[in-house]
Structure 1
């Protein structure tokens, strides 16, 4: 992931996020001690001509126009996620300090991840090539199956797991050096790592796995970037200059495909591209179009990558992020999906798909669900991915990604269900089950109840029709408002006439889609609205393939007058931890209905503001006890885009259900937060903390009814 910004404005970020590494911060005694290279591992590493896992298979992929197809010419959809760690100093997947490698892999397959992008470093590939693989630190109690294995042996073990569970793999050279900040370096060489070593590392790993169709794609280099006045920087033109990433893609791609012509070769973009008539010699920032690191593929129109006879293996791979990663200029004013598509995605990379030039795989996208701008961006990009069936690998599995968080929570076992629900429509599903990219193995492995194989979708291949009708469903009809208040509108519509195909509906307020996940019924309530305001609504149907209908007829609704929610809210607080400088924050909360009518807890959220105080920025939250039941309490830690006095993040508390009668409260809710490296907080100056040991009104813990502030006040900017 990358940002268009000067270094001094660089936010704390994902692998950038890898600042959130937990290296050296795991509880003493938890990790196994690294040992010397085993003789077997040395022999294995020194023999790249021997396939590590399997005999030749039939799952290799190729491109046709803007689609990726299998050997039979049937269209496939690569929908997955990233799992980082092999690129860092640990030289192994992160999370194996507590999570189990088999359990994590199986859970990804069961939940529809059919492709895993694995960041790695050139340095580690060269170490493997030279027989220098070492035994990394992992929790062998949690991972007895990999005890004593080298990093290469662990990778081979994991690749076999992927084969067992129907997952395909993409390697991504994320950085030249195996360190936790190497990804920020703008080019593919650094220090002792030369461009030739970069190419030879790709050749070695390609040769080693050339007969294993579990590893089907190679992402040449993560996020080449740099502005024109920075040195070094990546450019894109027709030259053979060392810093021309287009040439690097061609060189690496041709050398990879000379060994295995069946691999997909992914080429990312760069950061800036000169405007018409401007040379790369210009150092004036306004002479260039600028976007996310790896996200600028404007140069392909003038200088497409040429892989020669194997050009049907080429996939372009942009990255895209939201305003919590960096407040790009397009996130100002009244922006929405329409403006993003018009001003950012179309000119930088989406044109390649729309003009049928090449498939796209968005290699990184993701972030925190903030209930605001970042979630709005993520939903818009998710909808674009689904509607165009663009390939994607979500960033990321890891919860220790500092400015995005992950699909897994801090225990490396539980999933962030809200984030997963947002992603799920962008995972390949057919007939209500997730689709593997393997012809024989269902996603999830033999006996899976959640996944199917390509053979289950297409039969024996050889010219079978596509599995899903490419025509759009019919538009819903009969859109009407069934109820409204000053802050909400309830809608109802008639099911589309081909409802058997329809898997859900999307509700639009103007041009903005307001539902986070597809609506499975034919009713929806839009909340957080402004009193006495006119809103226009339409509804679209979608099917399992992501085909979307035309919009229904537009319905205009004006909300009722009113200045306050029907149920007033306040928050009471007590401190359950007397120490201000230990490794946990333990607030106790009560939500109180101060209104005269029942309060739907699903409309309420409260925010506890605090500072993370160094160490890992990745913070996990747990409900230890709740009178209403911890299953009803939903927690999310949201970093602030701009830290303020007393806070650089807040814990958001919401509810999955329940109702409070007038004058009643939720009872005791005992919460706990800790950083992923278990380093200490300093809570003394945290905005929402007091030393109270008994419940009292807490205006420093603001509460919201929908999106309207109903109690207290957030910290001043």
Structure 2
């Protein structure tokens, strides 16, 4: 992430903090964290939620937090705790860690001694130790992030973890040294191995992800660093970020062709985990995957074109790149960077969409960033390093862990904000002896009466009794085993879980939630077995798509697919949740292709069309036509009837449809598994092209 500097304007005095002892050598505590499925838990197995922010500067040439040229270190730290930041991610450089190890810590010039009398004359290492003690005092936990190899303001743009005189072995050794120094200090609870490994197909330096021991394999680097860290402190969390590109099916890392790869944000591509998961051996319960994600003001990615929204982002970007790890209960996620400017437009739309996803799935995160001098995102603080951007904070606040209207520390004893805090509480205040307090009147009560109202070979419909509370319940989450299956909060007391396997037993629970994010304990579990399959071999789902070809010529200036959507389930299908994708090639010309509804039995006014270019073309497709519906529903077994569509290019040049992925020569309606369909973010029918 760009971290352009602001000029240092006025200097203001801060309030001196009480003298803080060095954090190094602090007594061992009991706040170490571990993982269980897709959750992070404390020593008692109670779920915690890491909700924090980034404060950069130690990674840069100043070798100390930015902002201390005018802001006070104690005031800034206390204000973060008071406002609900329970974890701070601290970018640092391998070079600085090596300097500290070699006794070469210097007094940084970026500290205003008048504003910071408590750290005047201290070296960068002494300032870091002092700040760790402040974090302990205020109930904040800390994560270190090796942001760059060298200590410079642009080091984070370098794609790999070695550079210049900093070797891969020194990268590992630096991690070992800092782990050993703070192994008894449970304020420093997590290590983010390397910030944003990246590089594209045709670039000389590029981070890849496979099962090799090659120097540029970040999966291997993360495993190696993680194991060496955990050999010293088996209780610290190890975070592995993603990369930038990953080969498509049939392609290999030897390819220099961009279209052979899936591409996303630096550090955001964790597709490789499915085939090549990180293995930390006996300490695998310390592994957390950590993608980064940004909005269109940082870079206008292809998925920000057309009529995009949270559903399309989740389905097309977040699910395939990293969210599947959470949904499939493989490992916890911590989004290490997300944030940006409020523009009253697309960037803010993206921020709210990701914020809502974080809240609904309780995904761990550290917002980018506290610093106002981040060039392409801005920060939570304004330029005086004292005032908060209240509008941006209001957007973030729902994604900060709150219980009973107060912010929750990750410390079992110290409330967030420190002793006497009026805004924060400790873990002990939430869990007491390790279990939710049944007499707690600030949390929703447990839902009752969970039952199955219907079931098919591929779906289960559930209902339950609304919680009776003295706090306002805003909705419910449905869990299948340990996996939350609802994409958005359920506001009623019914839910249908689709995409299931026939003749399979599934266990469900339901939890209530309130506006502050407080969750009830789970309901009593209900086990439901789906019905036997019909043996027809249809793709799993409660709907299917039929297709016929309305144009005998494959080489004229129009494509004319005919479609029908069929409700193959046993309950009503809400068409407003359905989207259908017809994949084709433009065969030259501009990316834009126009689409029309010529006839629809349900009325063309009900049919919405858009064409979307693929960010990376695949065999048989560089674009898809997306068909959605303005409303309406289909009863079980009912279909939409005939929908006749037409597409042409702006210059009316000819298509060559013969190789189009979704096209066939069928002249009467037949099931079309190459025309995938979704209900919300869930693939309910067919197979997209790879």
TM over 0.5: yes
Which of 285, 298, 309 is the equivalent residue of 1:336? Answer: 309
TM-score (norm 1): 0.62
| CA displacement 1:167-217 (0-9 Å, x = unmatched) | 000000000000010100000000000000000000000000000000000
Change (3 A) 1:411 1:472: farther
Distance in 2, matches of 1:541 and 1:260, equals 36
TM-superposed deviation, 1:231: 1.2
Taking structure 2 as the reference length, the TM-score comes to 0.64
Q: Is the 8 A contact 1:324 1:367 kept in 2?
A: yes
Asked whether the equivalents of residues 225 and 233 of structure 1 are also in contact (C-alpha less than 8 Å), the reply is yes
**Match among 347, 356, 361 for residue 383 of structure 1:** 356
Q: Distance in 2 between matches of 1:418 and 1:135?
A: 36
Question: Which of 60, 71, 81 is matched with 2:32 structurally?
Answer: 60
Q: Is residue 121 of structure 2 the alignment partner of residue 116 of structure 1?
A: no
Q: Corresponding residue for 1:88?
A: 60
Q: How far off its partner does 1:367 sit? A: 0.3
Aligned-residue CA RMSD (Å): 2.8
> Would you say the 8 A contact 2:70–2:115 is kept in 1?
yes
Q: CA deviation at 1:30?
A: 9.4
Shift of the 434–182 alpha-carbon distance from structure 1 to 2, 3 Å rule, reads: same
- Quick one: which of 355, 362, 367 aligns to 2:340? 367
Query: C-alpha separation between the residues in 2 aligned to 1:465 and 1:66?
Result: 25
The higher relative CO (CA closer than 8 Å, separation ≥ 6) is in 1
Contact 2:338–2:367 (Cα < 8 Å) also in 1: yes
Q: Does 1:194 align with 2:167?
A: yes
Q: Which residue among 79, 94, 98 is the counterpart of 1:107?
A: 79
- How far apart are the structure 1 equivalents of 2:139 and 2:281? 31
Partner of 1:165: 138
CA contact (8 A) 2:201 2:245 kept: yes
Matched, 1:413 2:386: yes
Q: Which residue of 2 aligns with 1:509?
A: none
The answer to whether the 8 Å contact 1:275/1:287 transfers is yes
CA contact (8 A) 1:96 1:143 kept: yes
Match of 2:5 in 1: 21
Cα distance, 1:544 vs. partner?
Answer: 3.0
Partner of 2:102: 130
2-structure distance, mates of 1:68, 1:263: 12
Q: Give structure 2 stretches of 5+ with no counterpart.
A: 14-20, 450-465, 477-488, 490-511, 521-573, 577-690
Q: Is the 8 A contact 1:386 1:546 kept in 2?
A: no
C-alpha deviation, 1:460, in angstroms: 2.5
Q: What CA distance in whole angstroms lies between the structure 2 residues aligned with 1:28 and 1:322?
A: 32
Match of 1:458 in 2: 431
1:502 pairs with 2:472: yes
How do 1:75-474 residues align onto structure 2 when only pairs under 5 Å count? 75-137=47-109, 138-461=111-434
Paired with 1:385 and 1:472, the residues of 2 have a C-alpha distance of 23
Question: How far is 1:501 from its partner?
Answer: 3.5
Q: Residues 110 and 451 of structure 1 are in contact (CA less than 8 Å); yes or no, is this contact kept in structure 2?
A: yes
1:305-353 Cα shifts (integer Å, max 9, x gaps): 0000000000000000000000000000000000000000000000000
Going from structure 1 to structure 2, the CA distance change for 1:472 and 1:429 (only over 3 Å counts) comes to: farther
Secondary structure of the residue that 1:259 maps to in structure 2?
Answer: coil
| SS of aligned partner of 1:289 | strand
Unpaired runs of 5+ residues, structure 1, are: 2-15, 32-43, 45-49, 475-495, 507-517, 519-539, 549-553, 557-717
Task: Check conservation: 2:467, 2:473, Cα contact below 8 A.
Answer: no
Judging changes above 3 Å, is the alpha-carbon distance between structure 1 residues 326 and 498 closer, same or farther for their aligned structure 2 residues? farther
Q: What is the distance in 2 between the residues matched to 1:183 and 1:366? A: 17
8 A Cα contact 1:434 1:450, kept in partner: yes
Count of residue correspondences:
464
SS at match of 1:544: coil
Residues 245, 393 of structure 1: alpha-carbon distance in 2 compared, 3 angstrom cutoff: same
1:414-459 Cα distance to aligned partner (Å, 9 max, x none): 0000000000000000000000000000000000000000011111
**Residue in 1 aligned with 2:493?**
none
Give distance in 2, aligned partners of 1:250 and 1:541. 37
- Distance in structure 2 (CA, Å) of the matches to 1:225 and 1:473: 48
Q: Tell me by how many angstroms 1:21 deviates.
A: 1.7
